[in-house]
Amino acid sequence: MTFKRFKEVSSAVLQNPIFNDLSEEELSEYHALLKEPRYHHWELKNRIKQSGINPGKHCCVEMEYHLLESTRAKEVLKEDPEYINYDAVITWDKSRRLYGIPIHDGGSSYIRIKYCPWCGKNIDNDIV
């Protein structure tokens, strides 16, 4: 599969993950290519851009991608204060400039982390 075709398949999958008129063979090849860094990072960056998050704001593309769930949860919370997004594995406290692992107990608590779980970079606000 060419990179151009990968982008087309990715678009079809994102628009409709289940009913996308792609062959089983093409979907299988697409999923296999997602394991390669070039394709994987392109896919994550594409999803980040589509979500409205500015790429490059956080330490790595993996961090930005996983923050998408946290962003979705904040949007839903505006309408449903009881909502808990169990898919969110990382959170960004913008006002305090801190990252954390959410505690899924119905509140907004989190466990502060000092290093990115994906790239290992020091993300502690206190260290320059």
Using CA atoms, how far apart are residues 11 and 3, in angstroms rounded to an integer? 12
Split into its structural domains, the chain has a count of 2
**In terms of domains, do 72 and 107 share one?**
yes
Say yes or no: 68 and 109 in one domain: yes
Q: What share of the chain is helix, strand, coil (3-state, %, to 5)?
A: 45, 10, 45
**What is the span of the domain harbouring residue 66?**
62-113
Do 77 and 106 fall within a single domain?
yes
Each residue's pLDDT tens digit, 45-95: 888 888 777 778 889 999 988 888 776 666 665 666 666 677 788 988 888
Report, as an integer, the average pLDDT of 112-123.
94
Would 118 be classed as within a structural domain?
A: no
Could you tell me if residue 91 is inside a domain?
A: yes
Q: Would the pTM count as exceeding 0.75?
A: no
